[in-house]
Amino acid sequence: MKELHTFGWYAARVAPHLPKQAFKPVPSRLIAGSIHLFVAVTGILSIGWFDMHPFFKLAIAIIIGGSFASMGFLGHEILHGTVVRKAWLRNLLGAIAFWPLSTGPRLWRKWHNIEHHKHTQDEHLDPDAWPSMEKFSNSWLLRLVYRIPFPFRAVSSFLSLALTFSVHSMAMFKLYLKEFHPKQRFTVWLQMVLPWVTWIGLLFWLGFADWIFAFLIPLLIANFIVMLYISTNHRLNPLVPVNDPLANSLTVTVPRWVDALHFNFSYHTEHHLFPGLNPKYYPLVKEQIKRMWPERYHEMPLHRAVYSLWRTPRIYYRQDELVDPHRHAVYGSLGNGLNPEEITYRKEDSLEESSVENKNSASN
């Protein structure tokens, strides 16, 4: 593995080449957010008010789901303080933006802004990092999952993206609730419960059939869109002992109109370098990174990154390699032998599942 540097090391070298206004909040980003909110609310009301063919309801549900996802991307931006700086307004707007995904602003800032950004790709401290062989050996569930034949496991993992964000959000609520000051826990609970009260109330108003189109299908679509990005942010990169965004993060490329809809969320390496910088300036950061460290920068088209995820496992072996224990196959990670154009693997004879299971039995 190449020498690693902290995000601050890179930021200090890139920042002088950026305009001063890049570090100021950009409230005008709320205009696009308001449009997505209007589209989502209008779509929900249309399904509730008008008697239409299920085909048209499905079309509206897809549009609502796209707006739900875009609102989530803007909520991520707002809660990093790049749109408005006043704490109460930031939290209010962030709560509204994350309302469809039912994730409260206090929880998100703890889970994402603090823990994930501070400990990116740290096996033990990053709440979004995937497990190593050590965790695999101590988890009966993971060992069971990796006994499923690879094609079925790959398909299941891909389809599960439609649920992953919501499920992981609830897991983060359970993990971090106890770390909030007792006086803040009521607010954290309220921020989690109120969105679900809204969506359950919508169920009683619309009835189950229309609720499926007005909320459930859009939620699944929003999960899927959001997770297409999040799943490629770091899962092809190695685990690292130093929080180096050029080693542990991946930027994906999408058409410009998609970047416009998704608030430049594709620029993930740039985001980890400057989490407080408004994403509209990320192309400038990318330009400087590629000028200074072209050999260290990771980027690929989104579809290729997803395809690479499809063909590789999510268990880490020796930090900079990915391993499928059941197939005894070891893959490189980005910067450490992974070739996205042609995924290859080698057999690792020492990866005997029986030894893994024996190790787990001994530890218990």
The reported pLDDT for the residue numbered 178 is: 95
Q: Which residues 6+ apart lie within 8 Å of 186 measured at CB?
A: none
The reported pLDDT for the residue numbered 342 is: 52
The reported pLDDT for the residue numbered 352 is: 53
Place of tokens 């499928």: 324
- pTM reported for the whole predicted model: 0.91
Residues in the chain, pLDDT under 70: 1, 337-364
d(CA 132, CA 323): 9
The reported pLDDT for the residue numbered 143 is: 87
Q: How many CA atoms does the CB half-sphere of 286 hold within 13 Å?
A: 18
Where would I find the H helices in 161-301? 161-176, 182-206, 208-211, 217-234, 245-248, 256-261, 268-273, 282-292
- Tell me the pLDDT tens digit for each residue of 121-168: 999 999 999 988 888 888 888 888 888 888 888 899 999 999 999 999
Q: How many CB atoms lie within 10 A of CB 23?
A: 14
d(CA 362, CA 148): 24
Handedness of CA 60, 63, 69, 74 (dihedral sign): negative
